[in-house]
Chain A
Amino acid sequence: MIEYLIFAVFAGLLLHGIHRKAIARIQGRPGPPVWQEILHALKFSFKETWIPATASETLFVAVVLIAIGVWSTALFVLLTDGSLLLLFAVYMLHKIVEHGLGLSSGSPYGKFGAIRSVMSAASEIPLFATIAAVYLVTGSLMISDIQAWQVAHGPLLFTALPAAIALYIVVLAKMHYSPFAVIESKEIVSGNVTEHFGVWRAALDAAFGLKTFVLLYAFILIFLGPMPLLLAAAVMVLLLLSLSFICALTPMLSPFDTVTIQIGVAGLIVVYVLLAGVIP
């Protein structure tokens, strides 16, 4: 069981490396090697580590532990074919991590990141719409039932395309260098993680690697159905590359625009859910 966690951490960091490499190549730069993010996490773990004098000590450390715990839970929900509701409850907890990271540090940059994280809570609205649409089509929120439905009827991607697009935008919002990644935008240094350096940053990198792995794998399980591990890995990379293209070619949006777009997407999904499931 621990082996799944370790594998997912390294796979997630490797996916981050591929993401950076793809963005660089699209932008005409050589970019770092794909294993750079693994080296990056290791490098941070060897850096001198302490807690800033302005920080709330308990929260500063606890939020790092919570980040790893939250995404470890999410991984096991996926692996045990658990409930979609549980998976997205975990996703909600990640918001607490984002707020906590920024607010615990005492840094104005961290606090700006945390405030932007509150604003970008709009990114969860397409998530609710996705869950509603998946339930209306498959009649269940258990991942095992959703997969069984797809074995019988084909991938949900084709049956509930708008819901898949909404979840795709949710995943995009959580990627590094995403147009929606306003909480770590460069004008506020590193946003809510500015003051988390050394071992804290290495642990956060591991947690965020887990997060990327879980979100991409969840998209595959929910919208493409069960598939062999190697094929799933290949599809995850393809999905990631499509996200990298968007990240490479789209500038960082303003916080207000990210909220507008995400609420707009959620609105479209609500119309879709009404048309598909409620009105008939």
Chain B
Amino acid sequence: MTMKKQTAGAVTVAAGIVCVAASVAWRLGLMETWIAIVLNVVAFPFFLVALGLWWNAAEKEGDTPFIGY
């Protein structure tokens, strides 16, 4: 199973926005602490893994493997 670069990028951005928005809203007193924590706990793992998959994913097809003489 491979994730396309575009999909991984979208998940990274979405999860990153959730983390940052929840953190900022909590700092400004617009969000309860426990809600901000839950959002961060849920989104942070997706952010971290998708970030790795995003910068890891190839943008073009791989080389044709060597199939023998």
Using CB atoms and an 8 Å cutoff, list the residues of chain A in contact with chain B. Answer: 1-3, 5, 45-51, 57, 61, 64-69, 72-73, 76, 80, 198-200, 202-203, 206
Give how many B residues have a beta carbon under 8 Å from the other chain's beta carbons: 24
Using CB atoms and an 8 Å cutoff, list the residues of chain B in contact with chain A. Answer: 1-2, 19-20, 22-23, 26-27, 33, 36-37, 40-42, 44-46, 48-49, 51-53, 55-56
Contacts of A73 in B (CB 8 A): 37, 41
Q: Give the total number of A-B pairs whose CB atoms are below 8 A apart.
A: 73
Contacts of B41 in A (CB 8 A): 69, 72-73, 76
Interface of A (DSSP majority class) = helix
Across the interface, A65 reaches (CB within 8 A) one of B23, B33, B36, B46, namely B46
Complex Cα distance, B20 from A7, in Å, reads 14
- Are A80 and B19 also in contact (CB < 8 A) when A69-B45, A199-B49 are? no
Across the interface, do A1 and B49 meet the contact criterion of CB distance under 8 Å? no
Contacts of A202 in B (CB 8 A): 52
Q: List 12 A-B contacts (CB under 8 A).
A: A1-B40, A48-B56, A49-B53, A50-B1, A57-B1, A65-B45, A67-B45, A68-B44, A76-B37, A80-B37, A198-B52, A203-B52
Across the interface, A1 reaches (CB within 8 A) one of B2, B36, B45, B55, namely B36
